[in-house]
Amino acid sequence: MCGRKFSHEELTWAEYRDILAIVQPPPNSNFQPNYNICPTQQVPVCVSRNGTRSLELMHWGLVPRWARDSKYAARMINARAETLAEKPSFAPLLEKNRCIIMVSGFYEWQRDGQARTPYKIERSDHQPMLLAGLWTHNDRLDRDSYAVITTAAPPSFSPIHDRTPAILERSGIGAWLENSWEDAEKLTKPYRGDLTATRISSLVNSNRNNGPELLEPIAA
């Protein structure tokens, strides 16, 4: 599962440019921190068009090409790696419409009965997190949108949740964006690196809150 993400002040245009090999930023993007990226919001997304990588603003929550309105967006923020080829909204996108969403990390909530405890999830090496995704354009709405691919959580993460985003290593960027789906599919496996989960306050539960205080750890 991936229902919220965050990009803190260290995720600058230079990071996008150097890591993803992008020539120029998208227009009207100032790369300000966003500590509570929620579904339907616009965020920078890396795509490859004819072998040239660009950063484009897209809405989180995929709206299929055939949709007449955006009601699907809230239900299609994620796409399960195991069933991508079976879903009519995702299968046509596998060859040409893969993307990468670069963030600082994501949030997850651990359930215990009715209680939900929020955590911020980051790479243990503090490097930016590269999330595999699929994107599309809806002509009726003139809307670019994407979904984050999810996969089974590694054993160390499963006490918090049984799913995580499909996290790419830098060495897999080219294969994910530009190789055939036969090659790229191999990258949608459970993450083999180390993730750090830090308990945070319930401030993150509200999408009205968006500041660095959301990332502050609290005692267990």
The Cα–Cα gap between 47 and 157 comes to: 29
- Domain span at residue 88? 4-105+128-153+162-193
32: in domain: yes
Helices (H), the chain: 13-20, 173-178, 181-184
The alpha carbon of residue 145 and the mean position of all alpha carbons in its chain are separated, in whole angstroms, by 12
SS3 90: coil
- Rounded to 10 degrees, what is the CA torsion of 193, 197, 203, 205? 60
199: in domain: no
The pLDDT value recorded for residue 115 is 85
Lowest mean per-residue pLDDT among 29-33, 45-49, 160-164, 212-216: 29-33
Which sequence positions are flagged as catalytic? 2, 108
Q: Rounded to whole angstroms, what are the CA distances from 36 to 76, 108, 207?
A: 18, 12, 7
Q: What is the CATH number of the domain that holds 15?
A: 3.90.1680.10
198: in domain: no
The Cα–Cα gap between 118 and 44 comes to: 25
- pLDDT, tens digit (0-9, with 9 covering 90-100), for 124-171: 999 999 999 999 999 999 999 999 999 999 888 988 999 999 999 999
217: in domain: no
pLDDT band at 1 (very low <50, low <70, confident <90, very high): low
The Cα–Cα gap between 200 and 121 comes to: 10
Q: What is the domain count for the chain?
A: 1
214: in domain: no
117: in domain: no
115: in domain: no
The pLDDT value recorded for residue 220 is 63
Number of Cβ atoms within 10 Å of the Cβ of 205: 15
97: in domain: yes
Lowest mean per-residue pLDDT among 48-52, 71-75, 172-176, 201-205: 71-75
